[in-house]
Structure 1
Amino acid sequence: MKIFKLSAITSLFNAGFYLATSLIVLYFSDIGMPEFLIGLAMTLARLSYGLASMFSGAMADRVGRYYPMLIGFILGALSMLFLSLFRSQYLAITMVILVWVAYSIYSPAALALVSEVSRGTATSYGWYYFFLTAGQIVGQALSGNIIKLGGYGAAFVSGGALSLISAALTWLWFRDEEAKVSVNLLEDLRKGVNILFRNRYLSYLAVALSLHGIGFTMSFTFIPLVARLDQGMSEPQIGFALSLWSFGNLIATVPLGRVTDRIGGREMLIYHLAASSAVWWIYPFLKDEMLIYALMLIQGFVGAMDLPARRLLLVGISEREVATAIGSLDSITFILSSLGNLMAGLTWYMGHWAPFVIGCLINTLGLLILLKMGKSEAAYSS
């Protein structure tokens, strides 16, 4: 029962998060930010997520799951609500950074809680991501229409309200999960860094997924701008396209989680990286609306291969410090992959196709590392 309560809470927050951030690139553009500054803003947001994850994962192992979840949801709500009040470029960037930090604070704790209230299999993570993605679909599908009806402020306020509901439900359902609170940020940072260095397999995995993350962020950053400038799509159409991506992820996550339990996390990640390069390469050259929708749906299937597979690997690597392992891997991959946002802004002027194609090439390097790691090394590290 707790897994469904947890999934409902995080699904609501995810709906609010994507209501506020799905089309944030268009909002930045509309308040006068050049593409380079947009790329820099998204770099700072992902970098902040990565740095905060290093602390939050270890904190969740030390103080319990309740407080990080509650703090993350409250911070997310306040940041989204304040975002609705500002038109200043730099204040808007600051609030978006805080929204991402809020996500990084709650996420490792919630993921660790999944392993505690279930069997910790890829299938259980698949169900969790099923509900998480359902919230994402709602947020993305509604974002364009809410912006069209009430402006960006309406989307930000709606997102903040959903985050507040998540905080209230966390207090109602999970306050018995609280532990004795003691704040030791340096110790949390030391634990997060240490687990990366002492586990060779986790280190290789971090490098491979960081390269994958750079490729992804290079490709993903300007999807809304390419859709508006080159493909002639409106905000509701862009929101619908992104929701199709999430819908494909939704319907494929649980079945692919079961496949991952059978074939292994490393093998599924190999398929994921290979398919990702193909999809990203194609996108900027499409002009037909229906083909764009179809590709977004396929990208959802491809994306569903990722997170249950990497979470399954992490549970095997460190069962006693699973939140620390999750936080550390998320931290290093987000810190390094944040470079992709900046690189997207720099390469945008080479042609709107350039961030996508270069991102594919970088992603392929991550695929080669995964292939080189081999099954025997995975077994050794587990």
Structure 2
Amino acid sequence: MKRNWITGVYLAFIFSNLGYSLWYSLLPIYLRGLGFEAWQIGFVFSLLNLATSLSYLTLVSFSEIVGRGRTLIIGFGMSAAVLLVLAFIKNPFCIVALIILYSLLGGLKTPVGEATIADMGRSLGFSLSIFYLATTAASIVGSALSGYLAMSLGFSMLFIIAGVLTVFSVTFIVFTYDYSKRCSKISNQTLKRSFENIRLMLSDKTMVNFTTALIFHSLGFSIINPLVQLYAKEVLNFDEQSIGIVMAMWNMGLLLAQIPSGGLTDRFGGMAMLAAHITLSSASWIFYCLSKTWSETIFSAFILGVVGALDMPARRSVIVQLKRHIDSASIIGYIDALTNLAFILGSSLGGVLWSTLGYSMPFIVGSVVNMFALIPLITLISSRREYSSI
């Protein structure tokens, strides 16, 4: 049953990511077409990250109450409903509101799925890499098809396809989850459990330093994140289909580097790999904004993916290893929530920098801010080495 349950989780997230990448890959372009300015697009992404943070801070403990399977069913089911409604809404503000609602459901899905893989996998880094490999492969297909489908069928059809694929995700969980077992202790106080877990996490100095490093990294990345597609659209004059291919190459880099990344994490440790990821990230962001031709953009997007692949196996491995008395799903959700709060500031700041100082400045500022993440991370690495040598 354990193998069937893990397989169900894999398939659910593969189908969900395939649908998600269809519309999310072109979301900045879609919002631009609705009349949004660059700073407004940045503000929308700030709201999306605020919604995700609130979700991770509050809803993730739901899995400790009703079990991970039931939580995933609710999360995927409601997400599918939101996507299908989005296909028939034309008002820009209603569209943004529904996308925010979709983000609010994130705490019922991603941290729960990742925690399931982390807790049940044999080798932590390798198991997570396989999970990210599978979901990234789905994202490559979705990104590559997004531009073609949007141009030929319209953006609304992307939401319909994504909704149907997410319904399949619900089906996979329903037929593989073992309802005879409870994965958690029963409680009627989700918010109380959430804030108690947060208090325990913040009382751990090691976890605080680690989270601080991730916050700086997330702040830097959030400054450039919604502008990668806009750079291809407005600076390089690519059409939607070409932008979809650029995003697919980004995901291709993620795909090809996932397994090596997991192996390197198991060999050198999550802390060291995360430090390497942060350093290389700043370099890759600058490299992307220096791209002037199609071939340079494709190559730089691929490098973004390769460098990005170093992140999650290392990050999740460290999180699971540092946890104390908190469920894996909860601690992954809480740290993601705190780091996503940085996205609220970063996404808006990136849009303002783009509008006022030019297209290169968000990438430069984001790269500089990102490097500050090395300070608490190196401090943490040094303290752990001193402790191990005693």
- TM-score bracket, shorter-length normalisation: over 0.9
RMSD: 1.8
| TM-score, with length taken from structure 2 | 0.93
- 1:287 equivalent among 280, 283, 292: 292
Higher mean alpha-carbon deviation, 346-355 vs 369-378, is at: 369-378
Distance 1:332 1:134, change over 3 A: same
Structure 1 CA distance, aligned partners of 2:142 and 2:182?
30
1:261 corresponds to which letter in structure 2? D
SS in 2 for 1:221: helix
- Residues matched between the structures, number: 381
Q: Percent identity at matched positions? A: 28
Which is further off, 182-191 or 199-208? Answer: 182-191
Distance 1:169 1:315 in 2: 26
Match of 2:381 in 1: 374
**Distance in 2 (alpha carbons) for counterparts of 1:81 and 1:379:** 54
CA offsets 1:130-157 (integer angstroms, 9 cap, x no match):
1111111121111111101111101111
Deviation at 1:17, TM superposition (A): 1.1
- Give the distance between the partners of 1:235 and 1:172, measured in 2 at CA: 37
The answer to whether the aligner puts 1:262 opposite 2:267 as a matched pair is yes
1:127 aligns with 2:127: no
Is 1:70 matched with 2:73?
A: yes
Report how far residue 77 of structure 1 moved.
Answer: 0.9
Cα contact 1:130–1:250 (8 A) shared by 2: yes
Distance (whole Å) between structure 1 residues aligned to residue 9 and residue 292 of structure 2: 40
Q: What runs of 5+ residues in structure 2 fail to find an aligned partner?
A: none
Q: Residue in 2 aligned with 1:15?
A: 18
1:365 to 360, 364, 372: 372
Matches for 1:165-180 after TM superposition, within 5 Å: 165-176=168-179
Counterpart of 1:266 in structure 2: which amino acid? M
Tell me, in whole angstroms, the C-alpha distance in 2 between the residues paired with 1:191 and 1:297.
Answer: 41
2:238 partner SS? coil
2:32 to 26, 29, 32: 29
Aligned-pair CA distance for 1:23 = 0.6
Map 1:1-382 to 2 at 5 A. Answer: 1-2=3-4, 3-119=6-122, 121-176=124-179, 182-318=187-323, 321-349=327-355, 350-377=357-384
For the residue of structure 2 that corresponds to 1:103, the secondary structure is helix
Shift in CA distance, 319/253, structure 1 to aligned 2, threshold 3 Å: farther
When normalised by structure 1's length, the TM-score is 0.95
Give unmatched runs, 5+ long, in structure 1: none
Q: CA deviation at 1:379?
A: 8.7
State whether residues 46 and 335 of structure 1, in contact with CA within 8 Å, keep that contact through their aligned partners in structure 2. Answer: yes
* Structure-2 separation of matches of 1:69 and 1:178: 14
**How far did 1:183 drift?**
4.1
Q: CA deviation at 1:256?
A: 1.2
